[in-house]
Amino acid sequence: MTKLAPETFASQQKLTILDLSVNQLTELPKDLFRNTLILKDLFMSNNSIKDLHSNLFENTRQLKELHIEHNAIESVDESLFRNLQNLDTLLLENNRIGHIFTGTFDPLRSLMLLDLNNNGIMRIESGLFHLAENHLSGPLEGIFAPLEKLHTLTLNGNPLGQVTQGTFAGLKKLEDLNLKNAGLTDLSGTPFASLSELEKLDLSENRLASVDAEVTAGITKLKQIFINDNEIPISDLSGLLGLNQLDMITVANRSIAVPDTLLYNKTKLEQFYVQGSTFANLPASFFHSTFSLERLSISDNKQFVKLPKDFFQYVPYLKELVLLNNSLATLEPGVFDPLGLLRELDISENPLKSLPEGLFAHTVLLESLRIGNANLTTLPEGIFSKLYDLVALDLSNNQLRTLPQGIFDNLYSLQTLSLENNQFESLQPALFQRLEKLNTIMLGYNQFSELDSQLFAGLPLQALDISYNRFTAFNQSAMAFSKELLILALQGNELSSLTISSTLEKLYIDNNKLSSIDVVIVGQGEEFSHITTLSAVGNNFTSQEEFYKFMMLTELDASYNAFTELDLGKLVTEVVPLGVLNVSNSFVERIKIGGIIFPPSLVDLDISNNNLTTLDVRSLVSYENLQHFVFGGNAFNTTTIELQQNHISHLDSVLFEDNFNLEVIILDNNTISTLSPALLQNLTQLERFSIEYNQLQELNPQMFVNNTAIDRLWLTGNFLQRIVPGTFDT
């Protein structure tokens, strides 16, 4: 839908909800909503609307929600919202608004949510309001005063530099304030003192050296505070000491000084995340008041070397515990005993080397356990014997060579097991015999050269990763689990022979020595393979005919093989569902595009970095679903490339990288929205460039810096609103 007549809704007086989203509307008649007197919710997002008439909402006085995001609006008339006193939600993000006039939002006394994110606002006058990812600097004193009912204010991504108490004056009901990445270096002068209802505060990604009592003065109802990824060390968190209503604290920085009494009065705390702290230990009473704590993460603290046995005695309701990437060398028996309700535990990336046998004896409700990259060489025989509810176990990136027989026997609920990147050469055939729910096993990056055919017998195995081992041949159809398996990863072996079952759906065989794949038909009535995804990068395939047997294939990556000729028309005719095809870097000298009977399903095509000298791109018109086409890095002797009406939405930055002799490029009538400045950088002989009737919204000022020979440039029919001075200087 591209246009609406003024009388379209003239007879719809009882209309309360109207959704005009995701059309191609560019304008709206000023009388369009004249008779929709009781309209409450209006959705007009994802169109191309450029302007809103000042009288458009004159009669929609009952409107509560107004969504105009993702359009092309450049300005908002100061009287546009004059009759919308009942509006509580206004979304204007992702438009092109550059300036807002005084009084524009004053009538919106019921407004609770206003979003102007991702516009180009450079100026906002006194008495006005804005949101994130614009270009405003602080302190913006007094500009939010009219918005007395506002609940949420997002200022992230603006170079504010500073905020003061006057910045938030009048926001009596504000509950959520986002100041992430706002360039803040100092918060002196009690900036939030007037925000008595504030419950959530995000101060992440700034340059704060301290968050002291002056910073948090007045926000006694605060429930959640975020101080993540601060750019400098934080030496003072004393401002958090008096906030006794907090239920979430998250602090992440390369160096944080955590006060011993930080959690002293945090009786309502449910989540505590601290990353990058510098403490070597914490007092036994640190969690004394946090009886309600459910999620705890202490990570990336290289000074944290020991976990006292009584460390968790005051947090019996903990459900999630992360101790990732510290320097814990030992874990004492019984340290996790108080955590009888724990569901998730991650002790990865610590130099543990070994674990005590009864470490998990009392964490019987564990569902997820990660002990990856912990330098483990052995495991006690009964260490997992009480984990009946465990669903996922990660033992990857250790130095395990063998496993005790029966170590997994009681893991009745286990579904996912990762043993990758250890030193296994073989596994006992009965190792997994009691794991009746195990469906995913990762054994990559070990030293297997074969697997016992009965290794996973009786298991509902659906995904197996045995990549980067030492297999030279593999016959999936001979394995006991062949009928159930849906996903098989065999990358990085030395395979020259491969047989799979027809029931397999996804196959990854990159970096082997294969030139063919044998398929064994399994099941009565079956006639062909069920493979939908095949990645065969870096093998020895010389003919595309090897892939015709995979008639259900939707994605094929056959790059880095050795095809002299690619008959694309034949391939998409034989493999009808094929939507993604990559045959780059495969020595292709000739390509046939024609011969198709019906429009192919192909959406993404990459034939880059081959030895092609000619390409009849006009024949691609029949490939009406094609959106991404990459063909750079060939040796085309043509001076003209035409890709008109091919439904292309994206151009790879290296598309024309090696086509130095190109003189004419025509890309008209596609759906291209952006151009990389690197796209034309090597085309010094380019004389004509046409990209008419696409969806370009901007041009990078460096776009044509090397194209001094251009004498004809067509940009008609795009969404360009502004071109940076100097763009065409060359």
**pTM for the structure as a whole:** 0.78
In a domain, 683, yes or no: yes
Q: What is the pLDDT of residues 284-331, one digit of tens each?
A: 889 999 999 999 999 999 999 988 889 999 999 999 999 999 999 999
Please, what sign has the CA dihedral across residues 99, 103, 107, 113?
positive
The answer to whether residues 365 and 342 touch, using CB atoms and an 8 Å cutoff, is yes
Q: What is the pLDDT of residues 164-177, one digit of tens each?
A: 888 888 888 899 99
End position of a domain, from candidates 116, 132, 148: 132
What pLDDT is recorded for position 134?
A: 47
C-alpha distance from residue 678 to each of 584, 635, 657 (Å): 20, 19, 9
In a domain, 651, yes or no: yes
Residues 99 and 160 in one domain: no
In a domain, 366, yes or no: no
Q: Which residues pair with 141 in a beta bridge?
A: none
Which segments within 529-589 are labelled E, that is strand? 533-535, 555-557, 565-567, 580-582
Residues 152 and 186 in one domain: yes
Residues 19 and 65 in one domain: yes
Please, what sign has the CA dihedral across residues 371, 376, 377, 380?
negative
Residues 48 and 88 in one domain: yes
Residues 91 and 157 in one domain: no
Residues 122 and 195 in one domain: no
- Binned at pLDDT 50, 70 and 90, residue 146 comes out as low
Residues 123 and 144 in one domain: no
The answer to whether residues 284 and 312 touch, using CB atoms and an 8 Å cutoff, is no
Residues 90 and 34 in one domain: yes
The span from the CA of 598 to the CA of 629, in Å, is: 19
End position of a domain, from candidates 278, 311, 338: 278
In a domain, 708, yes or no: yes
Q: Which of 356, 323, 364, 322 is nearest to 340 (CA)?
A: 364
Residues 19 and 119 in one domain: yes
Q: What is the pLDDT of residues 327-349, one digit of tens each?
A: 999 999 999 999 999 999 999 99
In a domain, 326, yes or no: no
What pLDDT is recorded for position 76?
A: 86
What pLDDT is recorded for position 419?
A: 98
Selected residue with higher pLDDT from 252 and 63 = 63
The span from the CA of 353 to the CA of 355, in Å, is: 7
Residues 189 and 259 in one domain: yes
In a domain, 437, yes or no: no
Mean per-residue pLDDT for 53-63?
92
Preceding amide of 351 cis, omega within 30: no
Query: 14: burial class by Cβ within 10 Å (0-12, 13-18, 19+)?
Result: exposed
End position of a domain, from candidates 258, 278, 298: 278
Is the confidence at residue 279, as pLDDT, over 50? yes
In a domain, 558, yes or no: no
Selected residue with higher pLDDT from 363 and 209 = 363
What pLDDT is recorded for position 143?
A: 62
Is the confidence at residue 108, as pLDDT, over 90? no
Is the confidence at residue 135, as pLDDT, over 60? no
The span from the CA of 662 to the CA of 672, in Å, is: 20
In a domain, 605, yes or no: no
The answer to whether residues 217 and 238 touch, using CB atoms and an 8 Å cutoff, is no
The span from the CA of 634 to the CA of 334, in Å, is: 64
Residues 70 and 183 in one domain: no
Q: What is the CATH number of the domain that holds 193?
A: 3.80.10.10
Instruction: Say how many domains are in the chain.
Output: 3
Q: Find the domain containing 97 and state its range.
A: 1-132
- Binned at pLDDT 50, 70 and 90, residue 140 comes out as low
Q: What is the pLDDT of residues 426-480, one digit of tens each?
A: 999 889 988 999 999 999 999 999 999 888 888 999 999 999 999 999 998 888 8
Residues 240 and 260 in one domain: yes
